[in-house]
Amino acid sequence: MKPIIIGDKDAHICLVQAVDEHDEDLLEKEYELIKGQNPEERILLAAVRVDSWNHNLSPWPAAPVFGKEGFGDGAPETLRYILQTLLPMVQKDWLSASIDVKYVIGGYSLAGLFALWASCQTNAFSACMAASPSVWFPGWIDYQAEHPQQTDIVYLSLGDKEERARNPLMSQVGNCIRRQAALMAGKTTVLQWNEGNHFKDSEIRTAKGFTWCIQELRKKK
């Protein structure tokens, strides 16, 4: 795994995001969009480039959806890397010990599911941002129902064409995101619908979600 750090020294907000090669190429644009919407905030984006998307971000094994590559159970290892390696490095080299930093975990697609899963495991994050998350993942909704989020701020979004997918499993994403939102009752949460399918404007959707979380954290100061 590879750390990628972008942004302000001694930030008050640290955004944590798992990415692949495609997402990595869009991180600068994503950060610029976030800063443009929050010019008064000092923000650091701490991303981790994972080696195997389907393995590193999956909480448990599942059968392939496309092609022959299935899903592994590498999410616990990735979360350990974030908590034990990435964040201590960020705290040592980028952040001030005298500042109360708020950590927001987020991601797009399977990384969005990972963010939701991770914030069920630890209270290290003040908010969770899941843009077009893979909540269709087998067993996820039942797991979420039994393992509450440990953050009180949760952002959810989906493209309005995503539930029209031809794949029978992925076509359930609309029903699943609605159930996910219902399970967030009592929290500061929102479910936003974006125009288009799953592959449209991922960096814009991700920036939009992180911005919502930042603004909600600002209200709670």
pLDDT of residue 197: 81
- Which three-class secondary structure state does DSSP give residue 102? strand
The Cα 94–Cα 185 span in angstroms is 35
What pTM value is reported for the model? 0.95
- pLDDT, tens digit, for every residue of 6-30? 999 999 999 999 999 988 889 999 9
> Any idea which fold 2-219 has?
Rossmann fold (3.40.50)
DSSP 53-82: HHHHT-SS-B--SSTT--B---HHHHHHHI
Query: Shortest CA distance to 109 belongs to which of 17, 37, 179?
Result: 17
pLDDT at position 2 over 90: yes
- pLDDT, tens digit, for every residue of 123-150? 999 999 999 999 999 999 999 999 999 9
Write down the domain spans for the chain.
2-219
pLDDT of residue 220: 81
Give the lowest-confidence range in 50-54, 60-64, 93-97, 191-195: 93-97
The Cα 13–Cα 137 span in angstroms is 30
Residue 39: partners with Cβ closer than 8 Å, 6 or more residues away: none
Q: What is the mean pLDDT of the chain?
A: 93
Q: Which residue in the block uniquely carries the two structure tokens 């599942």?
A: 62
Query: Residue 16 has which token pair?
Result: 């944590």
For the chain, give the percent of residues with pLDDT over 70: 100
pLDDT at position 66 over 80: no
The Cα 18–Cα 161 span in angstroms is 24
pLDDT of residue 165: 82
- pLDDT, tens digit, for every residue of 186-216? 999 999 999 888 888 899 999 999 999 999 9
pLDDT of residue 107: 97
